Amino acid sequence: MTLETNAFTSYASIGNREDLSDVIYRISPTDTPFLSGIDKEKASGVYHEWQTQALASASSSNAHLEGDGEAAVAATATVRLGNYCQISKKLPRVTGTEMVIDKAGRGNEMAYQEMLKGAELKTDIESALLASTTAQNAGNTTTIRRAGPCHSYLATNVDVTSTSSNNGNGTTVSTPNDTTRAFTESLLKSVLQAIWTQGGKPDVVMTGAFNKQQFSTFTGRSSVTEDAKAKKITANVTAYESDFGTLKVVANRFQRARDVFVFQMDMWAIAYLNGRRMVSEELGKTGDSIMKHIISEYTLVARNEKSSGWIADLTAA
């Protein structure tokens, strides 16, 4: 078939309207399982404090004579811990011209940019809580104030090859070690046993992508089924049946791939400074543009690090 003589085609036409969908498609990850899963608290100062308590060790020889006199037993004091509030923000800026131009997929450009920057800020906070290797810092006029990440508190139930170790109060952080090893079920079982011995009741295992797949090879996994009739295997490992309870298995894009965390989630919280939780504020016009900032001031609360564990220095690819 050939084109008929003098048939006017779209290739020669001038003025055809563009065909642009009124939908914007986005696949960038925004899920933040740690931030979304832990409790929320209020902080009233830039240094937020809390206390932990431990019971005296159990004694198998607690037996007394009838009518025996009583002697005072030393009390176990609380431990006072704290963390500094860190400021994280994003700054959308839009020109006056861009604000009035007709656009596809969104109406108000500033509102759209605020939505994007807010989603980005959430992932930044998730990364700061789980992946930062910077210990807490009080800061000053020239030094940024920092919140200690979760692994700066994890000290009791850990399995690391790094020469340094954390002290459990947020002021030190074990840094990645060049020596790595495979994530194995025996490593996980060892940490789970240590947590249980301390009294913890962990409910979530959090991994990167590579070690989430490694997890699928463990014998204690559940929610793995084979449907011969449908000719498919469902290998979505969502839970792990351990000797100490069932744990949800969650992949997290924003933690270090070389880490596996074992969390008792209700023993962790994020504390936002009053009035500073994901706030959008206009900074005014500069020339012919408008700038805002999306800002959060927050810190991590490790209510009792003995409830959770950490397996570090793992092969990640």
Mean pLDDT of 53-61: 86
Which structural domain range is residue 217 located in? 33-52+79-174+182-311
Which amino acid is residue 5, in one-letter code? T
d(CA 48, CA 44): 7
Residue at 71 is within a domain: no
Comparing 207 with 8, the larger pLDDT belongs to: 207
Residue 242: Cβ within 10 Å count: 19
pLDDT confidence of residue 230: 54
d(CA 219, CA 221): 6
Q: Could you tell me the two tokens for 21?
A: 């969908």
Residue at 58 is within a domain: no
Mean pLDDT of 280-290: 90
Q: Residues 94-145: pLDDT tens digits?
A: 999 888 988 888 888 989 999 999 999 999 999 999 999 899 999 999 999 9
Pairing state between β 225-227 and 268-273: unpaired
d(CA 184, CA 211): 9
pLDDT(33) > 60: yes
Q: How confident is the model at residue 21 (pLDDT cuts 50, 70, 90)?
A: confident
pLDDT confidence of residue 228: 54
Q: How confident is the model at residue 303 (pLDDT cuts 50, 70, 90)?
A: very high
Vertex 253 angle, CA 184 and 116, to 5°: 175
| Euclidean distance between the first and the last CA atom of the chain, given in angstroms as a whole number | 54
pLDDT(233) > 80: no
pLDDT(1) > 70: yes
Residue at 97 is within a domain: yes
Which amino acid is residue 118, in one-letter code? G
Residue at 24 is within a domain: no
pLDDT(298) > 90: yes
Structural domain count, the chain: 1
pLDDT(69) > 90: no
Q: Helix %, strand %, coil % for the chain, to 5?
A: 20, 30, 55
Residue at 12 is within a domain: no
Rama region for 63: left / alpha / beta (φ>0; ψ in -120 to 50; rest): beta
Q: Residues 167-209: pLDDT tens digits?
A: 888 888 877 777 889 999 999 999 999 999 999 999 999 999 9
d(CA 130, CA 259): 9
- Alpha-helical segments (H) within 233-311: none
pTM of the entire predicted model: 0.87
Q: Taking the C-alpha atoms of 200, 270, 240 and 217 in order, what is their torsion angle to the nearest 10 degrees?
A: -120
Q: Could you tell me the two tokens for 154?
A: 């994890």
d(CA 212, CA 199): 26
Which amino acid is residue 157, in one-letter code? N
Query: CB of 145 within 8 A of CB of 125?
Result: no
Residue at 19 is within a domain: no
CA distances from residue 159 to 99, 189, 213, 249, 303 in whole angstroms, order as listed: 53, 11, 20, 19, 21
pLDDT confidence of residue 229: 58
Mean pLDDT of 70-79: 83
Averaged pLDDT score across all residues of the chain: 88
Q: What CATH number has the domain bearing residue 142?
A: 3.90.1690
For residue 191, which phi and psi values (nearest 5 degrees)? Answer: -70, -40
Which amino acid is residue 68, in one-letter code? D
Q: How confident is the model at residue 220 (pLDDT cuts 50, 70, 90)?
A: low
For residue 49, which phi and psi values (nearest 5 degrees)? Answer: -120, 155
With a CB cutoff of 8 Å and minimum separation 6, the contacts of 17 are none
Mean pLDDT of 153-157: 94
Using a 10 angstrom Cβ sphere, with 0-12 exposed, 13-18 middle and 19 or more buried, the burial of residue 27 is exposed
d(CA 68, CA 64): 7
d(CA 278, CA 264): 26
Q: How confident is the model at residue 276 (pLDDT cuts 50, 70, 90)?
A: very high
pLDDT confidence of residue 58: 86
